[in-house]
Amino acid sequence: MRGATIELVGPTAAESVPAGPDVRVIDGGGRVLMPGLIDAHWHTTFVAVSAGVALTADPGYLHLMAGREAQRTLLRGFTSVRDAGGPSFALKRAIDEGAIAGPRIYPSGAFVTQTAGHGDFRMRHEVPRACGTLSHGEVTGASTIADGVDQVLRAAREQLLLGASQLKVMAGGGIASPYDPIDVTQYTEAELRAAVEAAEDWGTYVMVHAYTPRAISRSIRAGVRCIEHGHLADDPTAQLLAETESWWSLQPFLDDEDAYQPPDPAARAKQLQVTAGTDRSYQLARKHGVKVAWGSDILFDASLAARQGRQLVKMTRWYTPAEVLVSATSGNAELLALCGPRNPYPGRLGVVEPGALADLLLVDGDPIANIDLLADPDRSLLVIMKDGRIHKDSAPSRD
């Protein structure tokens, strides 16, 4: 390693480095060296606080909690995340400046949502909107409510101004939102296309929250490059994703011990609709050869956040361990690079090669033979390095 990049790779690389007081040699002892993990659907600010806190808390408190969780995320071996919506700009800056440890963040900024859309979390007493009045969620930067082409253009451009590497738009119903059933379609094609054109003018792309065939196909027609979720997709929709070379960012949502437990019965019913489609979604993605990204989309529960690695391991229900590891490293890195000139971290991620960014994990065991190792990072990850800087080191030194 030299600085933030990998200089040499191979069995004799250590011997090629001249000895000196500034040289640190780590004896891998036959263990496995692999790239840092990448979570392509992460909510930096909302992962470790309850939904009620996220909707009402002082922004300063939310950021402090997010900073603590960012450190924990890095120590789980996730050296990069694509933030899929929320106020992550300040935390990203603090991490980049070295003020706090955490993964590199590809921020989307506030969710762009229509009235009564998946990102509209206003209380009923806040409706109708008074002229010039923003909801608490908009003040904190969680979402921005925009109706019509002109408002969507404004909202998209504001997030780009703030430093979004890609945009997140809500194109259909969701589980945690109070007003919209899963089956509703949100935004017209013209509104979606407005966000896409704003992003393309900045050299980047739009990702959309969508579950149903109608929401997915409308988004693809509008030029959206990445579908988040899509668990209710059908065969023609999956074929459309493949034909247009769109990304499908799927999550292993199952009704199991790792699932978020919504307190509202209506939200619980929506959750069951989604989890019922998970197996078929992965089967369709494999059948049509869709480009699939892995993301956890953990929300509102610090105990679930601690099981981030378990969500990755769960992918062996549909893929081999080797395929899972590729998806969460070089595969997701390809998706991150889709933001082109808006990429805040130019350089190769997700590989162990000369010239690549030095994000490395030393695993006490072989994750291809036993991928469950990644579900227990405290024990199995001996060294965690990001940008050539060691954040965890429990491996023996070689003098």
pLDDT in tens, the chain (399 residues): 678 899 888 766 556 666 566 667 777 788 999 999 999 999 999 998 988 888 888 889 999 999 999 999 999 999 999 999 999 999 999 999 999 999 999 999 999 999 999 998 887 777 777 766 788 788 888 899 999 999 999 999 999 999 999 999 999 999 988 889 999 999 999 999 999 999 999 999 999 999 999 999 999 999 999 999 999 999 999 999 999 999 999 999 999 988 888 888 888 999 999 999 999 999 999 999 999 999 999 999 999 999 999 999 999 999 999 999 999 999 999 999 999 999 999 899 999 999 999 999 999 999 999 999 999 999 999 999 999 999 999 886 655
Which tokens in the block code for residue 200? 């393309």
Which tokens in the block code for residue 264? 């509202």
Q: How far apart are CA 52 and CA 396, in angstroms?
A: 45
Q: How far apart are CA 397 and CA 399, in angstroms?
A: 6
Contact of 114 with 398, CB cutoff 8 Å? no
Contact residues for 104 (Cβ-Cβ < 8 A; gap 6+): 79, 80, 81, 92, 95, 96, 344, 345, 386, 387
Give the helix/strand (H/E) hosting 133.
none
Question: Strand, helix or coil at 380?
Answer: helix
**What pLDDT does 1 receive?**
60
Which tokens in the block code for residue 380? 């199995």
**What pLDDT does 18 receive?**
62
Question: Strand, helix or coil at 363?
Answer: strand
Each as own residue / partner, the long-range contacts of residues 278-281 (CB below 8 Å, 24 or more positions apart, any chain) are 278/231, 278/252, 278/253, 278/254, 279/317, 279/318, 281/230, 281/231, 281/232, 281/233, 281/250
Contact of 210 with 298, CB cutoff 8 Å? no
Contact residues for 356 (Cβ-Cβ < 8 A; gap 6+): 5, 6, 35, 347, 348, 349
Which tokens in the block code for residue 163? 């430093």
User: Parallel, antiparallel, or unpaired for β 104-106 and 143-145?
Assistant: unpaired
**What pLDDT does 17 receive?**
61
Q: Where are the domains of the chain?
A: 33-353
Sign of CA dihedral 215, 218, 221, 224: negative
Enumerate helices (H) and strands (E) in the chain, giving the number of each.
Answer: 15, 14
**What pLDDT does 50 receive?**
87
**What pLDDT does 132 receive?**
67
The CATH code that applies to domain 33-353 is 3.20.20.140
Partners of 185 in the β-ladder: 172
Q: How far apart are CA 389 and CA 279, in angstroms?
A: 39
Contact of 292 with 319, CB cutoff 8 Å? no
